[in-house]
Amino acid sequence: MCAIWNPQAETMPREELLQLQLERLQSTLNRVYRYVAYYHRVLDEAGLQPEDLQSREDLQRLPFTTHQDLRESYPYGMFALPLREIVRLQSSLGTTGHPTVVGYTRNDLKHWTDLVARNLSGCGIGREDVVQIFFGYGLFTGGFGFHYGAEAVGAAVIPVSSGDLDRQLRIMQDFRTTALLGTPSHALYMGRRLVAQGLDPHSLSLRVGLFGAEPWSEETRREIEESLLLTAYDSYGLAEIGGPGVAAECECRCGLHLAEDHFLVEVVDPATGEPLPEGEEGELVFTTLTKEAFPLLRYRTGDVASLDSSPCACGRTLARLSRVLRRTDDLIILQGASILPEDVGQELASFAELGQGFQLRVRRGEEADDLEVLVEIGQVPDMSFPVVEHLQEQVRDHLRRALGLDLSVKLVEPRSLQGAGAPAPRVVDERTL
Amino acid sequence: MAPRRPSLLSLQSVRVFYDSLEALKGVSLHVNEGEIVALVGANGAGKTTLLNAVSGLLPVRAGHLLWEGQPLAGRRPDRIVRLGITQVPEGRQVFGAMSVQDNLRLGAYLRLRRREHQAVREDLERVFAMFPVLRERCGQPAANLSGGEQQMLAVGRALMSRPRLLLLDEPTIGLAPKMAHQILETVAELRQQGTTILLIEQNVLASLRVADRGYVLETGRIVLEGPAAELLSNRDVQRAYLGKDYEEV
> What CA–CA distance (Å, rounded) separates A113 from A133?
15
Percent of chain A with pLDDT over 70: 97
Interchain CB contact of B230 with A (< 8 Å): yes
What is the band of A333 on the pLDDT scale with cuts at 50, 70, 90?
Answer: confident
For the segment B125-139, the average pLDDT, to the nearest whole number, is 95
Task: State ipTM.
Answer: 0.91
Model confidence over A277-292: pLDDT tens digits? 999 999 999 999 999 9
- What is the per-residue pLDDT for B248? 57
d(CA A351, CA A398): 10
Closest-CA residue of B relative to A80 is B236
Q: Is the Cα dihedral A371, A186, A215, A327 positive or negative? A: negative
Q: What is the mean pLDDT of chain A?
A: 93
Question: Which of A107, A109, A111, A261 is the best residue to mutate to test the B interface, defined by the most B CB atoms within 10 Å of its own CB?
Answer: A107
CB pairs under 8 A between A and B: 75
Q: What is the distance in angstroms between the Cα of B230 and the nearest Cα belonging to chain A?
A: 7
Using the beta-carbon criterion (under 8 Å), do A30 and B230 form an inter-chain contact?
no
Of B222, B224, B236, B215, nearest to A291 by C-alpha is B224
Greatest alpha-carbon pair distance for chain A in Å reads 73
pLDDT of B33-60, one tens digit each?
Answer: 999 999 999 889 999 999 999 999 999 9
With beta carbons under 8 A apart, name residues in chain A contacting B222. 23, 26-27, 30
CA–CA separation, B79 vs B94, rounded Å? 21
Nearest to B25 among A23, A24, A51 (CB): A51
Neighbours of B222 (CB within 10 A): 28
- Chain A contact probe: residue of B4, B50, B221, B248 with most A CBs at under 10 A: B221
Q: Does B66 touch chain A (CB under 8 A)?
A: no
- pLDDT band (50, 70, 90) for residue B4: low
Rounded to whole angstroms, how far apart are CA atoms A190 and A228? 8
Mean pLDDT, residues A140-161: 97
What is the rounded CA–CA span in Å between residue B26 and residue B12?
A: 7
Task: Quote the percentage of chain B above a pLDDT of 70.
Answer: 96
Are B28 and A55 an interchain contact pair (Cβ–Cβ within 8 Å)? no
pLDDT confidence tier of residue B217, bands split at 50, 70 and 90 = very high
Q: Do A24 and B223 touch (CB under 8 A)?
A: no
Please give the Cα distance from B211 to A173 (Å, whole number): 49
Across chain B, mean pLDDT equals 92
Give which of A243, A288, A343, A284 is closest to A78, Cα–Cα: A288
pLDDT of residue A63: 97
Taking only the tens place, the pLDDT of each residue in B103-127 is 999 999 989 989 999 999 999 999 9
Strand (E) or helix (H) holding B214:
strand B213-218
For range B21-28, the mean pLDDT: 97
Give the residue from B241, B43, B53, B219 showing the smallest Cα distance to A49.
Answer: B219
Nearest to A54 among B63, B223, B233 (CB): B63
CB < 8 Å to B9, chain A: none
Sort out which chain B residues have CB atoms less than 8 A from A107's CB and list them. Answer: 226, 230, 233-234
> What average pLDDT score do residues A233-261 get?
97
Q: What is the 3-state secondary structure (H, E, C) of chain A?
A: CCCCCCHHHHCCCHHHHHHHHHHHHHHHHHHHHHHCHHHHHHHHHCCCCHHHCCCCHHHHHCCCECHHHHHHCCCCCCCCCCHHHCCEEEECCECCCCCCEEEECHHHHHHHHHHHHHHHHHCCCCCCCEEEECCCCCCCHHHHHHHHHHHHCCCEEECCCCCCHHHHHHHHHHCCCCEEEECHHHHHHHHHHHHHCCCCHHHCCCCEEEECCCCCCHHHHHHHHHHHCCEEEEEEEEHHHCEEEEEEECCCCCCEEECCCCEEEEEECCCCCCECCCCCCEEEEEEECCCCCCCCCCEEEEEEECEECCCCCCCCCCCEECCCCEECCCCEEECCEEECHHHHHHHHCCCCCEEEEEEEEEEECCCCEEEEEEEEECCCCCCCHHHHHHHHHHHHHHHHHHHCCCCEEEEECCCCCECCCCECCCEEECCCC
Query: Which of A8, A10, A11, A22 should be substituted to probe chain B, the one whose Cβ sees the most B Cβ atoms within 10 Å?
Result: A22
* Cα four-point dihedral sign A381, A386, A388, A393: negative
**Is the CB of A23 less than 8 angstroms away from the CB of B29?**
yes
pLDDT attached to residue A403: 84
* Other CB atoms within 10 Å distance of the CB of residue B114: 12
Whether B234 sits inside 8 A of A19 (CB atoms) is no
- What integer pLDDT is reported at residue A356 of this predicted model? 84
Report whether pLDDT(B2) > 80.
no
Is B12 in CB contact (< 8 Å) with chain A? yes
- Overall average pLDDT of the B169-177 stretch: 91
Dihedral angle computed from the Cα positions of residues A163, A168, A169 and A170, in that order, rounded to the nearest 10 degrees = 130
Q: Which helix (H) or strand (E) holds B81?
A: helix B77-83
User: Does the beta-carbon distance from B13 to A22 stay under 8 Å?
Assistant: yes
State whether residue B234 sits within 8 Å of chain A by CB.
Answer: yes
- B223 and chain A in contact, CB less than 8 A: yes
Over residues B66-99, the pLDDT tens digits come to 999 999 988 999 999 999 999 999 988 999 999 9
- Verify whether the Cβ–Cβ distance B225 to A27 is below 8 Å: yes
At position A265, the amino acid (one-letter code) is: V
Rounded distance between C-alpha atoms, residue A180 and residue A135, angstroms: 10
Min Cα distance A146 → chain B (Å) is 22
Inform me whether the C-beta atom of residue B30 falls under 8 Å from chain A C-beta atoms: yes
Q: How far is B170 from chain A (nearest CA, A)?
A: 23
pLDDT of the residue at B1: 42
Say which of A8, A55, A110 has its CB closest to residue B13: A55
* pLDDT of amino acid A335: 74
Distance CA A431, CA B16 (A): 58
Q: Does B4 touch chain A (CB under 8 A)?
A: yes
Residues of B numbered 114-173 whose beta carbons fall under 8 angstroms of chain A's beta carbons: which are they?
Answer: none
pLDDT band at A420 (very low <50, low <70, confident <90, very high): low
B1 in A contact zone (CB under 8 Å): yes
Instruction: Report chain A residues whose CB lies below 8 A from the CB of B234.
Output: 105, 107, 292
Query: Residues for chain A: how many in total?
Result: 433
pTM surpassing 0.90?
yes
Q: Which of A147-151, A163-167, A407-411, A429-433 bottoms out in mean pLDDT, i.e. has the lowest?
A: A429-433
Of the candidates B161, B99, B104, the residue with the CA atom closest to the CA atom of residue B128: B104
pLDDT the model gives residue A95: 58
